[in-house]
Amino acid sequence: MSPVRAVVIGGGIGGLLSAALLARGGAQVTLLERHEQVGGRAGRLQLDGFTFDTGPSWYFMPEVIEHAFALLGRTVADHLDLVELDPVYRLFPEPSDGGSATPFELVRDPTARAAAFEALEPGAAAAIERYAQNSAQAYRLALDHVLYTTFEDPTRLASVDLLSRAGTLAGLMGHSLAQHVDRTVEHPVLRQALAYHAVFLGSSPYRVPALYSLMSHLDLGQGVLYP
């Protein structure tokens, strides 16, 4: 029997993984990419001795990427040297947003991080800790019930675990990320620190649901890596 032939259009991360999985399954795959190099947004621009990331510059959700490599019989460690960032990032807010000449840094040390929150807004450390715990639950919800399923089997939606969290999920889908953040803290810089993920993903905290707060688990819980 001749192998299945497949054409994958687009050599971004999704296209590359799709093509690799098809090939691993025995298909004869042709990958089409209109640009000179594959990778999609995950590219680099070298100009006058400088190197610029043209898209994602952080390494988020490491277990998801490790899962993709495992499907191909590989490990991330075989191909990437990952560095944990500390500080995780720096914010340079405009003066009108409460910014100063010194950027706001989100550091890994919990004590130092809490002190930085409190310096901007008394009570913010405890509020953001609660926010971080809720973000971790939302992240787990997404990993367990969304990312690794195609929902071809509708009974996946009726799992005991998912039904027990229906109220939480409804709350996260019922209002925007901006509303969720605004209920947590008042200082503009802290609001930016909790809501910037939507902008980073190409949208707006006023448009995406509060479920996107799961991204804060990466900053505040897991930490951020750089390949």
CB contact set of 29 (below 8 Å; sequence gap of 6+): 5, 6, 7, 8, 19, 22, 23
Confidence of residue 177 (pLDDT cuts 50, 70, 90): very high
- Enumerate the β-bridge partners of residue 172: none
Domain identity same for 190 and 145: yes
Q: Supply the pLDDT for residue 98.
A: 60
Q: Supply the pLDDT for residue 59.
A: 85
Going by their DSSP bridges, the two strands 104-106 and 89-91 should be labelled as: antiparallel
Q: Is the pLDDT of residue 187 over 80?
A: yes
Q: Supply the pLDDT for residue 216.
A: 93
Boundary residue ending a domain (56, 78, 100): 78
pLDDT tens, 116-137?
999 999 999 999 999 999 999 8
Comparing 25-29, 95-99, 154-158, the range with the smallest average pLDDT is 95-99
Q: Which residue has the higher pLDDT, 153 or 210?
A: 210
pLDDT tens, 31-66?
999 988 898 888 888 899 998 888 777 888 889 899
- Taking the C-alpha atoms of residue 2 and residue 92, their distance in angstroms, rounded to an integer, is 58
Domain identity same for 121 and 96: yes
- Taking the C-alpha atoms of residue 34 and residue 66, their distance in angstroms, rounded to an integer, is 28
What the block records as the tokens of 218 is 């990466």
Cα pseudo-dihedral 226, 77, 47, 33, rounded to 10 = -110
Question: What's the whole-model pTM score?
Answer: 0.81
Domain identity same for 165 and 190: yes
Q: Is the pLDDT of residue 158 over 80?
A: no
Question: Radius of gyration over alpha carbons of the chain, in Å?
Answer: 20
Boundary residue ending a domain (78, 93, 113): 78
Domain identity same for 93 and 74: no
- Taking the C-alpha atoms of residue 87 and residue 75, their distance in angstroms, rounded to an integer, is 27
Domain identity same for 37 and 119: no
Domain identity same for 89 and 196: yes
Residues of the chain with pLDDT > 90, as a percent, come to 55
Domain that includes residue 98, residue range: 85-226
The gap between the terminal CA atoms of the chain, to the nearest Å, is: 42
Q: Is 137 exposed, middle or buried (0-12, 13-18, 19+ CB in 10 A)?
A: middle
Domain identity same for 74 and 94: no
